Amino acid sequence: MKKDVNYYLNKSIFISATNTDVGKTYACEKFLRFFANAGLKVGYFKPCETGVIDKPLDGSKMFELTKELNNDFKNVTLNDVVPYQFRLPAAPYVASKDTIIDIELLKDKKKYLQSFCDVLIIEGAGGLMVPVKENIFMIDLINIFQSEAFLITPSKLGSINDTLLSIEALKNRNIDFEFFINLFQDIDTFDEVSKPFLLDYFGELNFLQNL
């Protein structure tokens, strides 16, 4: 991590990824524990979760962890933490169907949750360009929430392309970011297939597993 832990005091961090199933929830767990171990009170927010049957599985898991790490978060509810829950496993814009996703409500929820913590971890849905509304994408929520940006990238074959494309999208919106590689796919070949270029291109690599 480039910045000192205290830099994130009273800030929020938006966790996005190159695509779905890259490890955003795993990353949220790692960062929640990392900041809690550093002495900061942590919070968690997932604006939208899709594929919800009985309850939001990712949001519920992180909410329970957050309450363990920060007793103040017992004052909030699961619906505060995951305000929009949709059954269809699709982009929020599609999954919401007739429900209007209110960006102002999300901003208010974020502000409310941030009052209970020193650093708020915000988990996006899918990748950066997943639509929330017709003209608002996950990447836009980073600026809307005035958050720092952490990009999670995969270790699988194709990760070079996925990583560079996502970074181009962040740079095109003038979003400062850090990226972390999640070593969970093609890990036996990553050092030979993908790491040489990524290391030469970026000079230094951050891995979630090292947190």
Which pairing describes strands 119-123 and 11-17: parallel, antiparallel, or unpaired?
Answer: parallel
Write out the catalytic residue numbers: 46
Task: Consult the annotation and say whether 127 binds a ligand.
Answer: no
203 is in an annotated binding site: no
Q: Helices 24-37 & 57-69, crossing angle to 10 degrees?
A: 0
Q: Would you say 26 is a known binding-site residue?
A: yes
Q: Is 134 exposed, middle or buried (0-12, 13-18, 19+ CB in 10 A)?
A: exposed
Q: At CA 151, angle to CA 93 and CA 185, rounded to 5?
A: 95
* Alpha helices in 46-176, H assignment, sequence order: 57-69, 78-81, 92-95, 103-114, 138-144, 159-172
149 marked ligand binding residue: no
| 50 assigned to a ligand binding site | yes
22 in a labelled binding site: yes
Distance CA 82, CA 78 (A): 6
Q: Nearest CA to 89 among 126, 124, 61?
A: 126
* 125 assigned to a ligand binding site: yes
Q: Is 158 annotated as a binding residue?
A: no
Would you say 58 is a known binding-site residue? no
Rg (CA), the chain: 17
Q: Is 189 annotated as a binding residue?
A: no
Instruction: List, as residue ranges, the binding site.
Output: 21-26, 50, 72, 123-126, 210
Instruction: List, as residue ranges, the binding site for ATP.
Output: 21-26, 72, 123-126, 210
Instruction: List, as residue ranges, the binding site for Mg(2+).
Output: 25, 72, 123
